[in-house]
Structure 1
Amino acid sequence: MLSVEEQSAKVLSAARPLEAEAVPIAQAAGRTLAADVHARVDVPLFDNSAMDGYAVIFTDVEGATAEHPMELHVIADLPAGSTAEPELRAGFAARIMTGAPVPRTATAVVPFEHTRDGLQAWDAPAIVTRAPARAGANIRRHGEELHAGAVVAPAGTVLGALQLTGIAAAGIDTVQVRRRPRAAVISTGTELAAPGADLARGQIPESNSVLLASMCAEAGAEVISVDTVADEDAAFTALLQRALRAGRADVVVTSGGVSAGAHEVVKNVLRDRIEFVAVAMQPGRPQAFGRIDDALVFGLPGNPASVAASFEAFVRPALLALQGREAVRRPTLRVAVTTGWRSPAGRQQYVPVTLDRSDPVAWTARPAAADGSSGAHLAAGLARADAYAVVPAEVSAVAAGDLIDVMLLS
């Protein structure tokens, strides 16, 4: 059997970043930068006030106290967005609001809280009862955060709200991002019936297409088709050809039909086009992967727990690599488990677990399945999972209290 690391290396070597496209920042959330973003303007654009208060000449108010206040004549009112440029002379001040341009002749800003009467009519005298700590106090200087041309966000950055805000503040309205990979999902199995349908003997509710479509979308892919097909070679071939036609799909993910049974439709159709291997993992031992035309094709096992673990191990990292992500693995933590279980010797085990985060310095984990087991057939327990416990291949048993690496899903 191949190790998880060996299979993953083959997958990632084939997953090269897709081409870049320009998108407005209003449409860029969740996308990955294909190139560094450089500031178009200085940040801040001009010297501006960090406080609501009075722009002053520092030497006029130096030493002011409640017992010995300094009175200044107010000559202007400067709200945010003001274009006025009053000239301050000794004994003069300008009422100013946060973000407003500071007059060139002002050398400090006194907050309203450090005056006798606080906010009042703009042309009333300013009586300063506490001097600023130093010249330049409460003034944000032009370009002190960054200058035009500086890198705001490097290539590979995933664009969330904070990143987009920083880019917008630097005067940028359009960014170069990697194209979202187009993913087609095909779930195979004659036994599958639509969720909610009346079930005949031998039928089960179909869940893999829901699982895979959701996981692809969460990984940033554009899901272009979701299909369920019986174990019929011709029907599966038609769906695969439709997904690949004219390069529509960058990734095709199938579930079921890759093992050693007599009705393995994916293996029957693709055995000469992609590679079918055994991977030392549980669940998820049978795997298939290869490139057909320009698309990466994944053949995952059929049990939902196997599908979910296989997706996390191989498909999700590939989808992120196609988007140019630098980090393609989930974050991991080492936590104690509250319940023990057996682990198959020689196979890396992925156990869906529920985390107890009530103690912020000592999280714990327990199997998400109601009976504490970790079999490939388990599906309902996935609804309770927010992480995977990843048990190394050389470990055959996990005991309560053991520290285990967990891969965070949320």
Structure 2
Amino acid sequence: MSRHTQHPVRSVDEHRRAVVDALRDLGARVETVLLGDALGRVLAEDLVAPLSLQPFDNSQMDGFAIRAADSRAARGDDGLASFVVVAPVPAGRVPGPLGAGEAAPVMTGAPLPTGADAVVPVEEALPGGFPEPGSLLRLPVGQPAGRFVRRAGEDVAEGDTALVAGRRLTPARIGLAAALGRAELPVRARPRAVVYTTGDEVVAPGAERGPAQIFDANAAILGAQLAEAGVEVAGAHLVSDDPGAFAARLAEDADGRPDLFVSSGGVSEGAYEVVRQVLEPHGEFVHVAMQPGGPQGLALVHGVPFVCLPGNPVSTLVSFEMFLRPALTEVVGSPAPRARRTGPLAEPVRPLPGRTQVRRAVWDGATVRTAGGPGSHLLAAAARANALALVPPGEAELPAGTPVELLLLD
């Protein structure tokens, strides 16, 4: 009998969808943050423009505001039209109206006087510079209306939806919110997760290690992956293989009202699979057609979704990247999806029948070179990798040069 016949076999895509469904309510909480704290957060509500951008017609550069028709009506033999200089318009000052044949020195960003519909750059004026009010100014004839004018509402009109809910806040989007006068924005609250790593054979880094024990790498891996994904780690616990102790720990942590539980280990079919023993009545444990990371589990316990990952370090790392990270992206809107590429193998790779093989790989922009073997314990090889190569199921060896899909990690 196959060791996995006790649990359903699920495809990679099917399990990714199951994780998304399990986390569906994760993006419901909303909080308000200052703009300075908004970078990378996900906007929770549409931002409707309370004013237009630009708020008023203004000058695109330093020059002279005129009535364009005056430059066409008053032609000189030298191709220049004459204007009388009036009071200058610095940025931030409301100007008076502009009369026929007048030119107002105007600075970049300053409002146009009523009646003006064009700006002539100062470099085109004779004499050069900004003459005193009352002076005679000569400008090229035939100026088009709208030249170097930023029109009110040209960028965003009052009442428009300036930013759509669900978008990650980039510097440009934060700048737009600031330009619309917003000092704060509603964003989706960062999920709060409690992490469990399991096994009597595991001890915390820095603790005394027995001759049959190993240091816990999974808590560090999951903590870093969750933080990178914008999830707050509200607690991390190394739990023994005692089901009663784990159930008590879980009930205590549920009182803190986390949004998510995540575990590594204890989900397979051995005699001491503590996570599966406690959670199987509350969820499902399946085998995904993927290597590493075949055993997976999902549960709902104390009203909190629980994502159960396998316990070998590379299996934990790969499972997070294949399932939990993309589910967070879809449900919460953050983190940004991993970049994907297709590249040729630098050496032959033998696929697995019926299972997607996720190989740690080094992508140099031209070829894909696997980092170490396929084993789920080879953490040093994973540390050298900057990508995951997704090798589809198959029987025949893939020769060098075969294109494979890549998930870029950095």
Which residue in the other structure is 2:390 paired with? 390
CA distance in 2, matches of 1:60, 1:312: 66
Contact preservation (8 Å) 2:19, 2:307: no
1:166: Cα distance to partner? 1.8
Would the alpha carbon gap of residues 290 and 180 (structure 1) be closer, same or farther in structure 2, given more than 3 Å must change? same
Q: Confirm or deny that 1:366 pairs with 2:376.
A: no
1:318-374: CA deviation from partner (whole Å, max 9, x where unpaired): 333442x399853422222323322221111212222223xxxxx43322x2x4x23
Corresponding residue for residue 189 of structure 1: 199
Rounded to whole Å, the distance in 1 between the matches of 2:242 and 2:61 is 71
What corresponds to 1:333 in structure 2?
341
- Say how many residue pairs are matched: 399
Deviation at 1:304, TM superposition (A): 1.5
Match of 1:250 among 227, 237, 259: 259
Equivalent residue, structure 1, for 2:93 = 82
- Residues 290 and 65 from structure 1, CA distance in 2 versus in 1: closer, same or farther, beyond 3 angstroms? farther
CA distances 1:89-144 after superposition (whole Å, capped 9, x unpaired): 33321221211111112121112232356545665957556567621100011112
Aligned to 1:287: 296
Separation in structure 1 between the aligned mates of residue 77 and residue 312 of structure 2, nearest angstrom: 76
CA 1:133/1:230 → structure 2, altered by over 3 Å: closer, same or farther?
A: farther
Q: Distance in 2 between matches of 1:342 and 1:148?
A: 60
Contact 2:71 2:143 in 1 (8 A): no
Residues 216 and 222 of structure 1 are in contact (CA less than 8 Å); yes or no, is this contact kept in structure 2? yes
Tell me how far apart the structure 2 counterparts of residues 242 and 132 of structure 1 sit (CA, whole Å).
79
- C-alpha displacement at 1:162, in angstroms? 1.7
Does 2:350 correspond to 1:342? yes
| Aligned CA distance change for structure 1 residues 131 and 260 (closer, same or farther; 3 Å) | farther
Q: Equivalents in 2 of 1:193, 1:122: separation in Å?
A: 81
Q: Which deviates further from its counterpart, 59-68 or 86-95? A: 59-68
Identity of aligned residues (%): 38
Within 2, Cα distance between the matches of 1:133 and 1:401? 61
| Contact 1:110 1:138 (C-alpha < 8 Å) held by counterparts | yes
Separation of aligned partners in 1, 2:76 and 2:387: 58
In the TM superposition, residue 79 of structure 1 has moved relative to its aligned partner by: 2.1
Point out the more displaced range, 346-355 or 187-196. Answer: 187-196
1:70, distance to aligned residue in structure 2 (A): 4.3
Distance in 2, matches of 1:204 and 1:114, equals 77
Q: Does the CA contact (< 8 Å) of 2:31 and 2:186 recur in 1?
A: yes
| Alignment correspondent of 2:379 | 379
Q: Which residue of 2 aligns with 1:306?
A: 315
- Which residue in 2 is equivalent to 1:32? 42
Structure 1: unaligned runs, 5 residues or longer = 358-362
Distance of 2:292 and 2:177 partners within structure 1: 43
Q: Cα distance, 1:254 vs. partner?
A: 0.5
CA distance in 1, matches of 2:241, 2:317: 21
Q: Give the match for residue 360 of structure 1.
A: none
Tell whether 2:105 aligns with 1:102: no
Cα drift, residue 45 of structure 1 = 0.6
183 and 66 in structure 1: CA distance in 2 versus 1, 3 angstrom threshold: farther
| Aligned residue in 1 for 2:6 | none
CA contact (8 A) 1:108 1:138 kept: yes
Contact 2:363 2:369 in 1 (8 A): yes
CA contact (8 A) 2:326 2:337 kept: yes
2:274 to 244, 251, 265: 265
TM-score by length of 1: 0.87
**Residue in structure 1 matched with residue 246 of structure 2 by the alignment:** 236
Given the two structures, how large is their TM-score scaled by the length of structure 2? 0.87
Question: Partner of 2:254: helix, strand, or coil?
Answer: helix
Instruction: Tell me what 2:174 maps to.
Output: 164
Which of 305, 321, 324 is residue 296 of structure 1 equivalent to? 305
Moved more, 87-96 or 279-288: 87-96
Instruction: Trace 1:37-48 onto structure 2 (pairs within 5 A).
Output: 37-48=47-58
Structure 2 portions without partners, runs of 5+: 1-8
In structure 2, do the counterparts of structure 1 residues 128 and 300 end up closer, same or farther at CA, with 3 Å as the change threshold?
farther
